[in-house]
Each structure stands twice: as structure tokens, then as C-alpha cells.
Chains A and B, each alone.
Chain A
Amino acid sequence: AQKITQTQPGMFVQEKEAVTLDCTYDTSDQSYGLFWYKQPSSGEMIFLIYQGSYDEQNATEGRYSLNFQKARKSANLVISASQLGDSAMYFCAMRLNTGFQKLVFGTGTRLLVSP
């Protein structure tokens, strides 16, 4: 079984500051992928960043970086230089690379960026 845990229901950050959203996961599989999605109030799921379990370097995509600590089973999302448009729900998800390769989501963190 796979499980994703996001312990921060809500986070506040000031514009232009960096923020870290926590994500821990649990699986006994060795091959898996970790994803972060942003969900604005419109409901669409916007892909932000991906980290494979065998990737040795932390993934980065523009202002997003993923702090992958495999031994601790954590995959925290770091958003640098926050913008007002970053206010949204953020979901961490895991995909096992076996079977149907389903995505399992965490409970999400609501980020609010203030001016």
C-alpha cells in the first residue's frame, strides 16, 4: 500500500518570501515517482514538479524545487519568491511504478500568499 501525508492544512507566506510545503510518503516499493500539483479555486490540477525515486538530484522547475530525502521518505516542495498567484491548494502525490501506476494524493496544503 502507498500513503502520502501532508501535515500542514494551511500555510501563510508573504510575497517574495520562500515557503516549504511538507510531504512524507510510505511505501515498500523501490521504484516510484513523486509529484506536486497546484489546484487553484477553479479546480484544475496543475502539474508542478516530478521526482523519480532513483533520481539522485533534487528536481527543480523554475521557482519550484523538490527537497527529496529518500531515507526519511520526504519530498517537500519549496517555492521561492512567492507570488500572489501562488495562493492555492497544493497536493503531493505518489505513483508506484507497478500495476496500474495509480496516483495517490495527500490531503493537501492551502497556501495563502499575502502582499
Chain B
Amino acid sequence: GAVVSQHPSRVICKSGTSVKIECRSLDFQATTMFWYRQFPKQSLMLMATSNEGSKATYEQGVEKDKFLINHASLTLSTLTVTSAHPEDSSFYICSARRTKNTEAFFGQGTRLTVV
């Protein structure tokens, strides 16, 4: 399968600071990337769908000003958690796919802890 790399795998930040998470498709061009959040012992919840060159589409209840998503190239999407608070501590995971009707591949995930 194709490779999606997510960086960093773990990050600890202070409350009030911003954190950027990168999602890269290493061996294919991804027209669409998805960002999920997973709280402990819970399922993956879709936060937003990101299409290259256009604004991300956020799911209901997800604050677009807090979770900034940029998909500037066909191999990179970034999620920036702005003014992070302890309640933003979670596991964030991305997935990427070449085109519609193709499989989406997942990154390794990023465990964010806000202290």
C-alpha cells in the first residue's frame, strides 16, 4: 500500500500555544486528505476534509478558526491547533487518497498533550 507519513508522532505543548501537525503522502499525489480526532477509548471522528488547492470542509461542531487546515500541495496537508487547551489533548490522525473511488491510507497519528 501507499505510504502516508505524519509528523510529529508525539507532541507536548503548553496551554495557549499553537501546534502544527504534518501529513505527507510519500509515494503518491493526494487530491484529498482527511483529518480525524480520537479521544481515549473512543472512535475516530472526522474533523475535516481537505482538497488540494481549496478550503477545507469542516464537520459540524469543529471550529475552523481553532483547527486550521492547509492543503497547499498534492503531498502535504497541515493541521494547526491554535491556542491549544488541555481539552484539545487527543490523538490526531490523517488519511490521504489519490482520487475518488480509491483507497485512503492512514498516517501513524499524532498524540497531542496540552499541559
* Residues of A bordering B, CB below 8 Å: 37, 42-45, 47, 50, 91, 97, 100-108
Contacts and interface: CB of A to CB of B under 8 A. Distances in A.
5 contacts: A43-B38, A43-B109, A45-B44, A105-B45, A107-B43
Given A100-B57, A102-B34, A103-B34, A47 B44 contact: no
Interface in B99-115: 100-101, 103-106, 108-109, 111
Secondary structure call for the B interface: strand
Given A45-B106, A91-B43, A101-B101, 19 more contacts: A42-B108, A43-B91, A43-B93, A43-B108, A43-B109, A45-B44, A45-B93, A45-B109, A47-B106, A50-B103, A97-B101, A100-B57, A102-B34, A102-B46, A102-B49, A103-B34, A103-B104, A105-B43, A108-B42
Interface residues of B, number: 23
A91 B45 CA distance: 12
Given A101-B100, A101-B101, A44 B106 contact: yes
Contacts of B93: 43, 45
Given A100-B32, A105-B44, A107-B42, A47 B103 contact: yes
A43 B44 CA distance: 11
Nearest to A4: B43
